Structure 1
Amino acid sequence: MYAVVRVYTTKSGSAEEVFKQVGAEFADRIPEQVGALLYTAVDTGDGSALTVTFFADEQAADRSESAVAQVQQSLNTRFGIEEAGVRRGPVMVSRADPAVARPVTI
Structure 2
Amino acid sequence: MYAFIRRYRMGTGSIDALMRKVNSQFANQLSAGGDAASDVPVRVPAGIISYQAIATGDDTIITVTMFETEEACRRAERGATDIRLSLAEFQVEETHTFTGEVMLSRASEALLTPVVR
Per the TM superposition, whether the score is higher than 0.5 is: yes
In structure 2, what is the equivalent of residue 66 of structure 1?
78
Shift of 1:13: 5.3
Query: Contact between 1:4 and 1:86, CA under 8 Å: does it hold in 2?
Result: yes
The answer as to 2:6 corresponding to 1:22 is: no
The equivalent of 1:96 in structure 2 is 107
2:12 touches 2:89 (CA, 8 Å); kept in 1? no
* Paired letter, 1:67: G
Report sequence identity in percent: 36
Aligned residue for 1:65, secondary structure, equals helix
Amino acid of the residue matched to residue 43 of structure 1?
Answer: A
Letter in 2 for 1:93: L
Match of 2:37 in 1: none
Stretches of structure 1 that go unaligned for 5 or more consecutive residues are none
Contact 1:13–1:47 under 8 Å retained in 2: no
Gaps of 5+ in 2: 35-43
* Structure 1 outlier segments of 4+, above 4 Å: none
Task: Tell me the equivalent position of 1:57.
Answer: 69
Indicate how the Cα distance of structure 1 residues 78 and 13 shifts in structure 2: closer, same or farther if over 3 A, else same: closer
Q: CA deviation at 1:48?
A: 0.4
The residue type equivalent to 2:7 in the other structure is V
Count of residue correspondences: 105
Structure ranking higher in strand proportion: 1
Matched-pair contact (CA < 8 Å) for 1:3–1:53 = yes
